[in-house]
Amino acid sequence: MPPTTHALSSSRDAVPSTASRPLRRLALAWAGFLLLMLAIDRLGLDFRLADALYRLQGDGWTLKQHVLLETWLHRGGRNFSQWMGGGVVLLLLVSLVAQPLHHWRRPLLYLFLAVAGSTLAVSSVKHLVPMECPWDLARYGGDWSFVGLLTRRPAGMPDTACFPAGHASAGYAWIALYFCLRQVRPRLRWLGLAVGLGLGVLFGATQQLRGAHFLSHDLWTLMLCWTISAVLASRLLQTSTPDITVTPHVTENVPNA
């Protein structure tokens, strides 16, 4: 086979592998995440952490209505995330008419769709999958016994929308900032990731202290938000691809002396 044909064949073979790389990473991430959830369940880490927080508050969720947690970090945090979303919409509209912001249009559109899609997905799952908050359980002064995620619920037990963590999604949804900034300001992408993770951890910890969620609820929210952001980024944002141009190999026949 001529060298040129071999180079062309190798370059073509590399394209599907590169294209399928994000899907393989996503599948591996979900496999690792499900193993982590299994470990948390087997070790009882949800209840161990909730027990510790409950005891620290004097065997009661005394911080449930604390002004810092309920007013500032719960209600205020939700409003802050909504104001951030409004800012993204405003910038997107400005980019439609301002030529200097032309290159921001698609990243801003992606950011809006990723944040909205993440919060909508978490909210939808919350209303489809019934699960109790810690404060609902008899173990923590509530009225009901714990029913697992895949366990059939007893007749007459009310449906409660506590899974996954809705308030944490107001923070974790902004993980999309990483992918947005990677497109237009690569040096700031880690700052964007820190904003999303930081807000998610803050809002999630707020609700755990109030007795509204278990640790695993927040982790499921994080995984859902990251998945939606990553999938939309692979579809809407440009990614760097290897150069597959073919350079012919020229061989010279040197006569034997």
Residue 245: is its pLDDT beyond 60?
no
Cα gap 239→88, rounded to integer Å:
22
Q: Is the pLDDT of residue 109 over 70?
A: yes
CA-to-CA distance for 146 and 44, rounded, in angstroms? 13
The residue that leads in pLDDT, 72 or 157, is: 72
230 neighbors 26 (Cβ within 8 angstroms): yes
- Position 36 scores a pLDDT of 98
Q: Please check whether residue 169 is in contact with residue 222, taking contact to mean a CB–CB distance below 8 angstroms.
A: no
Residue 151 counted as domain residue: no
Q: Is residue 45 situated within a structural domain?
A: yes
Greater confidence (235 vs 238) lies with 235
* Cβ proximity of 147 and 197 under 8 Å: no
> Does the residue 100 lie in any domain?
yes
pLDDT at 9 over 80: no
CATH number, domain at 27? 1.20.144
- Give the residue numbers spanning the domain of 125: 23-146+158-236
- Measured distance CA(47)–CA(188) in Å, rounded: 38
- Structural contact between residues 181 and 189, judged by C-beta atoms closer than 8 angstroms: yes
Chain segment 86-105, per-residue pLDDT in tens: 999 999 999 999 999 999 99
Q: Which two tokens stand for residue 176?
A: 């999309």
Q: Pick from 23-27, 136-140, 143-147, 157-161 the range whose average pLDDT is largest.
A: 136-140
- What pLDDT score does 202 carry? 98
Which pLDDT band, with edges at 50, 70 and 90, does 151 fall under? confident
* Mean pLDDT value across residues 13-33: 75
Q: Is residue 247 part of a domain?
A: no
Structural domain contains residue 251: no
Domain count, the chain: 1
200 domain residue, yes or no: yes
Alpha carbon distance 91, 105 (integer Å): 9
- Give the three-state DSSP class for 200: helix
Answer whether residue 16 is part of any domain: no
In a domain, 173, yes or no: yes
What predicted TM-score, i.e. pTM, was given to this entire model?
0.85
* Residue 4 scores a pLDDT above 70: no
Residue 160 — pLDDT band, cuts 50, 70, 90? confident
| pLDDT value for 20 | 67
